[in-house]
Every structure is written in C-alpha cells, then in structure tokens.
Amino acid sequence: MVRNKRVGAKASVLAAAAALLLSACGGAGVDAEASAAPSGDAAAACGSYAIAMHAWVGYTASAQVITEVAKANGCDISQVTLAEAGVTYDAMESGSVDVVVEDWGGGRWQEWADRGALVEVGTNGNIGLIGMFVPQWMADEYPDITDSANLNKYADLFITDESKGKGAWYEGPPGYTTIGEKMISANELNYTVISTGSEQALIDVFTKAAADKTPALGYFYEPQNFLAKVPLARIKFPANDWTDAEQASGLTDYPESPLMKLATPKVMDANDAFTKIVKNFTWTNDDQNQVAADIESGTDPAVAAQKWIDANSDKVAAWLK
C-alpha cells in the first residue's frame, strides 16, 4: 500500500510539473483568437473597472447600459453585487468597486467623500420619488385615505397576524432609504413596521392586494416600471424638509431626489472612455423604464440594454463626447 501510494505521488508530481511547463510556453493560441473579436474598433485604450450592482430593476437597467457602452469602447467591465450604502462605499474605498450609477442615499457617502474614497459625479438624469402607497382600489373606495392625517382612521383595515393589533406598514428593504419608523412615531400613527427584506416581496404584497382587493400599505418608489402594471396611489404627507435620511424628522414626506452617480478617484483621473461615459451618462425615467420593462419580462439584461442602445444611438454618442 505504501509503495503504491508512492508511485501515485511520484506520477502526480511529474504530471503537475509537465503541465506547468506546457502551460508556461503555450498560451498565445486562445488570446489571439479571443482578442481579435471585441477590441476591433476601440482605438483609445480603456482600463478595467467594476460597477456596483444594486438590487432593483431600474438600477440594473442603468448599470447594464453603461456596461454595454463601455465594453463596446474597449473597457473591461465587471459587475459586483452589493447592498446600497455602507458596504458599497467601503468597497469603493478598498478599490473593489469603482462606480455607483444610481444612488438614493441623499449624501450618506459624505464621510467617504471627505476621506477621498469617492467623488460625486452629478445626477444620472433620473428623479427618484419614494413614498407610502396603497392599491388604487383603496383610493377609489376611501377617497380621503391618501391624506396622511386620515391613516389612523383606516388602521383597522390593515391589521394582520404580524402587525400586533395595529395596521401593517410594509417597509422598504434594509438597503433602501427608509424612514418608516420615524414617520410612524412623529405622526403618531397606529401602525407597526413590517420589514420586507426585498423589493420583490413588496411587489408581491401589492400584486396580491390589487388582484384580491385586499388592503395593503407599503413602501414604493418611482421610477419603477411596476407602477405601469399595477396602479398604486401615493399617500400625501406634509411637504418634505430633508435630504439626508439621518436628519429627517419623520413628520414629512420623502423628498423628490435627483439620483446621483458616484465614482472613485481612479475613474475620474483615468481620462479614458469610461471616465467620459460615467461623467456624461444621463437619461430620463422613461428611458430607464423601457429597459427595466424588458428585463422584468425575462429578457437578459445585456440584451435589453443593447436594444435600447441601438434605438438611441444619438443619446449614446453624446455620452462619449
């Protein structure tokens, strides 16, 4: 047995050595074939970058369009999935992520910007609006429900097994900008926050509420293609007085926020095609919804993005100037 093992060991060492030797001298074959295709028209050199991917369809749409345009211009792009805020800014500081294409954080990154970990690159053209919504049928049946002052009057409608005898308030996922608890306590609302954990869980809640005509009160936002399919009515709280969620009193509504692009100094200093794309990228809520709708109906994000790029070559050309 011992001898047998030794033979095996010897053979494997030999084979490994041979493999290393061979691999050291013959690597050019595939590279020649592979590099012939994609980098054909890219005259200007472009570096390799990582785009943060946040988990909502709108974000995927924006990030995928940037990815495809950058790739077509010779950049090497990878995508890193992370939750919004904290971890992502940390990732930018450590260099494992270079760009955020749609940040709702309202300035939460300031601390990282002060340390030089990231730079604010301006808005991406989308306007974000977060709010609390009910299915349209409720607004039709109880017309005054959309006024936040009347929420307590209807709290009984929203009671579930999970909500401790109060109305269920389905909150956005932890990674999103949320101030539900503050709104409830500041406005003395008779509701319990139920954390949903994911955008899809919210979509499920609203889809079910619309189909079965059951009551539901939950967090939602625009731009979101879902609103075109299942109409929701927004509850109106007093006009907003904040941009940074940490400073919000909770008495007022979520603000309309222009969505921001963030990038690392590495991107800003490179001055290559990717720098241009990140600096100039901007599109409308409508543009985003088109791509998002395709992704949601099952199209591969890369294909959906390419479709929009082909149809909007003028806009894309402007980003590259």
Partner 1 sequence: MSVRTEPVIAVAPKTIRRSWLVGGLFLAWIALAQIFQGKATLELAVPENSTFTAWAGEVADSIRDNRTDGFAFKYFFNPIREFVDGFVNIIREFIAIPNGSSSIPVLGWLGVISVIGFVVFAVSNIRMAFAAVALTFACGALGLWTDSMDTLAMTFAAVILSLAIGIPIGIWAGLSDRVLKAVTPILDLAQILPTLVYLAPLALFFLIGPASATIATMVYSIPIAVRLTAFGIRGVPTSPVEASTSMGTTKRQLLQKVQLPMSSRTIIMGVNQTVMAALSFVVIAALIGAPGLGKPVIDALIIRNVGEGFVAGLAVVFLAIMLDRSTSAAITKKDTFVPPSEADRKRRKIALIIAGITAIIGIVLSRQMAWAAFFPKQIDISKPVAEASDAGVIWVTENLELLTAGLSKAVTVGVLNPLESVLANSPWYLTIAMISLLSLILGGIRSAIVSATLLLAVVATGLWYDTMITFTQTIVATLLTMIVGVVLGVWIGRSVRAERALRPILDAGQTLPAFVYLIPMLGFFGPSRFTAIATGIVYSIPIVVKIVGQGIREVPVNMVEAATSTGSTKWQLITKVQLPAAKKSLLLATNQGLIFVLAVVVIGGFVGAGGLGYLVLLGASKPELQGKGLVAGFCILLLGVMIDRIAQYMVARNSAPKH
Q: Which is nearer to partner 1, 34 or 318 (CB)?
A: 34
**Residue of 1, 43, 239, 317 interacting with partner 1 (CB under 8 A):** 1
* Cα–Cα distance, 292 to 289 (Å, whole number): 5
Q: Could you say whether residue 129 binds partner 1 (CB under 8 A)?
A: no
* Cα–Cα distance, 92 to 12 (Å, whole number): 42
Q: Could you say whether residue 309 binds partner 1 (CB under 8 A)?
A: no
Count the Cβ atoms, other than its own, within 10 Å of residue 164.
11
Q: Could you say whether residue 118 binds partner 1 (CB under 8 A)?
A: no
What tokens does 119 get? 């730079």
Give φ, ψ of 43 to 5 degrees. Answer: -75, -50
**Residue of 86, 125, 131, 231 interacting with partner 1 (CB under 8 A):** 86
Q: Could you say whether residue 227 binds partner 1 (CB under 8 A)?
A: no
Considering only residues 267 to 296 of the shown chain, the ones binding partner 1 according to CB under 8 A are none
Q: Which of 242, 248, 231, 133 is nearest to 183 (CA)?
A: 248
Q: Could you say whether residue 201 binds partner 1 (CB under 8 A)?
A: yes
Helix (H) or strand (E) holding 31: helix 28-36
Q: How far apart are the first and last CA of the chain?
A: 71
Residue whose pair of structure tokens reads 């053979």 in the numeric block: 11
Q: Could you say whether residue 191 binds partner 1 (CB under 8 A)?
A: no
Angle between helices 273-280 and 57-72 (to 10 degrees): 150
Question: Smallest distance from the beta carbon of 171 to partner 1, in angstroms?
Answer: 9
Which residues of this protein are in contact with partner 1, per CB under 8 A? 1, 3-4, 7-8, 11-12, 14-15, 18-19, 22-23, 26-27, 29-31, 33-35, 53, 55-57, 80-88, 90-91, 93-97, 108, 111, 115, 161-162, 170, 173-175, 179, 181-182, 185, 193-201, 204-205, 245-246
